[in-house]
Structure 1
Amino acid sequence: MDKQLNGHKAITQATLTSRAALRKSLRQARKRLSPACQTTASKAITHHLSTYFSNAFNTPTLNVAAYLANDGEVDVLHFIQHSHKFCDIEFALPVLHPICKGHLLFLHFTKSTPLVTNQYGIKEPELACHNVIPVRQLDALLMPLVGFDKSGNRLGMGGGYYDRTLAFTKGQTVKPKLIGIAHDIQQVSSLPIAPWDVPLDAIVTPTGILYQSA
C-alpha cells in the first residue's frame, strides 16, 4: 500500500486498494517474462532511447540517472554500455538517502564503481560525497515503473522515493526529463492517481516511445 507523502491529503482507501492490487498483478506479469524476452526488451529499449536522446537534447555532454534492474524491470545496462555510440553521457545511479529518509541521492556510475546492496536487495553505488550529482543538475532520469497509462502517469513500487525526490519538478519548465522505462505488458488503460504522483515526460517500451509530453 502506498505511504502518504508529507504535505498531501490522504486519498481514499478504495484508490489505495486499487493501486496495491494493480501493482501486485503487474509485478507478477513482468517477473514471468523469460530471460530471452528480457534480453530482447533491453536491446529494443537501447534503440528507442538513442532516438529519443538524439531528438530531445542538443548538448555535447549529458548527465543521466539510470537504475540497476530488479524485480523483472527492463535492464538498461545495455543502453549504458552502448550510449557512447550516439551521445556523450555521464551516468548516475540512485542511492537511498542516508539522512533524508524516503528520498534518493544520485551518484556517478561507471563500470568500475564499487557497489553495495541496500535494504531492498538492490545494488547501488557505495556512498561517497564527492560522487554525488545533485538531482537538479541531471538532464534526464531513466525511471523504472510498475505500471503506466497513455497519459504519462507512473505507478511505482509504493515507497514514494522518486515522487518525494522529484516533487520539485511539478509545474516547472526547466527540469530533468523524466523517462519511464517499462515492458509493454505494464501498460493499463488508466491509472488510479494519487496527489503526490510525479508525471513523466516520456515512456519508452520495447515497442517504441509510447508517450511524450508536448
Structure 2
Amino acid sequence: MSDRQSLRQLIRQRRRALSQTEQQIAAQQLLAQCQQHPGMLAAKRIALYLANDGELSTLPLIHWLWAQRKEVYLPVLHPFNPGHLLFLRYTATSPMTQNRFGIAEPELDVLQVLPHTNLDIICTPLVAFDETGNRLGMGGGYYDRTLAAWQQHRLGPKPLGIAHDCQQVDAIPCQSWDVPLPEILTPSRRWRFEVS
C-alpha cells in the first residue's frame, strides 16, 4: 500500500505543478476530445466531477453539455451509506456545498438524485493510470464501489476516465477491488483498453 501512496503523492504533485495556462489549454483539449467522442455524443445523462487538487477541469465540457441539452450529474458523498456515492443533477443554478474533503458538490435534494445505473456515462477522476487501463484513485474506493456491477456484469453506465497526460505511469500496483477502465481521455489522446 505504501507504493500506492507514494505514487499518489508523486502524481498529485505533478498535476498541481501545471500552470493555470496549461490547465486551461488541457480543459479545452479535453472538450475537443469529447466533442468527437461517439459515446459522449450519444449519451443523454453524464456524470462528471468538479476539479480539485490539480485535476483536469471539466467546466468547459459541462457548459458544452448543457448547451447540447444533456443532463449533467455530479457525485455526492452518500449521507447514510459510508463509502458510497449518490449522483445529483447539476445545473447552473444548483445550490452547492462542500463535502468533508473540501470538494464542491450539489446540496442533497432527493428530487435531484438519479440512480447511477440510469446514467449513460460516468466520467471518473483519477490520480494515475497505466497503459492497460488500471486506475489509481484517491484511496477511498468510492468509484470502485460505484463501478463494481459494471466490472462484474457490464451492467449500467460505461466508465470513462479523465486525466492529464502527465498522470500516465508505467504500471500501477493493483488491488483485487480496483476496477480497470475501458477508456481514458487525456488532452492529447483517447486511450481504449481490453478489460476483463
Q: TM-score, normalised by structure 2?
A: 0.94
Which range is displaced more, 168-177 or 158-167?
168-177
> Of the candidates 118, 127, 145, which is equivalent to residue 164 of structure 1?
145
Q: Residue 68 of structure 1 corresponds to which residue in structure 2?
A: 50
Does the aligned pair in 2 maintain the 1:113–1:125 contact within 8 Å?
yes
For structure 2, the 5+ residue unaligned runs are none
User: 1:73-132 deviations in whole A, cap 9, x for unaligned?
Assistant: 0000100101356x5420000000000101000000001000001101110000000100
Alignment partners' CA distance in 1, 2:194 and 2:155: 14
Name segments (4+ residues, structure 1) moved above 3 Å.
none
Aligned-partner residue type, residue 64 of structure 1: I
Alignment partners' CA distance in 2, 1:75 and 1:57: 17
Alignment partners' CA distance in 1, 2:80 and 2:159: 24
Q: Residue 5 of structure 1 corresponds to which residue in structure 2?
A: none
RMSD after superposition? 1.6
Q: How many residues align?
A: 195
Q: Residue 30 of structure 1 corresponds to which residue in structure 2?
A: 15
**CA deviation after TM superposition for structure 1 residue 56, in Å:** 2.7
Using the aligned pairs only, state the percent identity: 44
Other structure's SS at 2:178 match: coil
Q: Residue 9 of structure 1 corresponds to which residue in structure 2?
A: none
Does the aligned pair in 1 maintain the 2:86–2:113 contact within 8 Å?
yes
Alignment pair present for 1:151 and 2:136: no
Aligned-partner residue type, residue 46 of structure 2: V
Does the aligned pair in 1 maintain the 2:85–2:146 contact within 8 Å?
yes
> Of the candidates 106, 109, 122, which is equivalent to residue 141 of structure 1?
122
Does the aligned pair in 1 maintain the 2:74–2:90 contact within 8 Å?
yes
**CA deviation after TM superposition for structure 1 residue 212, in Å:** 4.5
**CA deviation after TM superposition for structure 1 residue 173, in Å:** 2.8
Q: Residue 75 of structure 2 corresponds to which residue in structure 1?
A: 94
Q: Which has the larger Rg?
A: 1
